[in-house]
Amino acid sequence: MTDRTPTRRNRPAGNLHSIDELAERWGVSTRTVRRQIKSGALRAHRIGRLVRISDADAEDFLKQNRED
């Protein structure tokens, strides 16, 4: 029997957001969000041709880029 405890890698993604939704929520352009994904700073999930960002990945990105 295997342990089914969610880990960082296989935990449920929660809500998934499109690039447009995230850009609007953060008050930036879609190009800015795409640039962050391309650079690897923001993790994204590709589902066919769709690109989605989970709540957890968006939150991680914001925490890593916070200025105190």
Kindly report, residue by residue over 40-62, the tens digit of the pLDDT.
999 999 999 999 999 999 999 99
Give pLDDT, residue 33: 97
Residue with tokens 């994904």: 37
> Reading across the β-sheet that carries 45-47, which strands appear in turn?
16-17, 50-54, 45-47
pLDDT (mean) for 8-33: 86
Give pLDDT, residue 54: 95
User: Whole-model pTM?
Assistant: 0.76
| DSSP H or E run through 50 | strand 50-54
Residue with tokens 């769709």: 50
Of the listed ranges 6-20, 23-37, 51-65, the one predicted with least confidence: 6-20
